[in-house]
Amino acid sequence: NYKFSWAIGFAAMGHNSVIKDKNGRYLVVYHARRQEGQDGVSGPHHLYVSQLFFNEDGWPVMSPNAYVGEKFGTVEEEDLTGGYEIVLHTVETGTKENILWAQSEKYTFTADGKVMSGTTEKGTWTLKQNYYVEVTLDSVTYKGVAVPGWNMYSFAKAAFCITAVSDSGQSLWGIME
């Protein structure tokens, strides 16, 4: 269960299938429940499709955005500098009556490779080999990819996103503000 600060929460992502299309793209088809009201109880299931990538170690990482035909390819460092909302996923879910949400936090990726929370340095980031990204936050390293996308949570606008995973299996999703 997760929630970006500018959006409703999404819970119970599941019953997924992975397909490879005729162009070699991997897609994940799944359902999720959207948060309804202020009490944290989520509503009915909705169908989503997100693109699946593989980090430099071969681990799958899924885009935080619904797939809308975006092209995966070379990213420049200057494309990735700026403000992000980052969700660190957890295994905690709570109950239907009391859903626990992994809440996003605001970070800034600086041109000199720092990850800042306000004026506090929280880690580093590096772009490697055209689109592979390595982000270290609070001494935990996440390896993934950077990809342009269509921010489905915030009035459907174009934004770069980062999807990555740590050695212990914790996922990081970041969407540029």
**What does each C-alpha distance from 177 to 70, 74, 157 come to in angstroms?**
18, 20, 10
Report the distance separating Cα 100 and Cα 103, nearest Å. 9
Q: According to the model, what pLDDT value does residue 62 have?
A: 96
- Match 């980052």 to its residue by tokens: 86
Q: Which stretches in the chain have pLDDT values below 50?
A: none
Residue closest to 138 by CA, chosen among 164, 119, 118, 115: 115
pLDDT digits (tens, 9 = 90+) for 7-38: 888 888 888 999 999 999 999 999 988 887 66
Q: According to the model, what pLDDT value does residue 38 have?
A: 62
Which H/E stretch holds residue 78? helix 77-80
pLDDT digits (tens, 9 = 90+) for 147-167: 998 888 876 788 899 999 999
Residue closest to 147 by CA, chosen among 88, 76, 73, 89: 73
Q: According to the model, what pLDDT value does residue 75 have?
A: 93
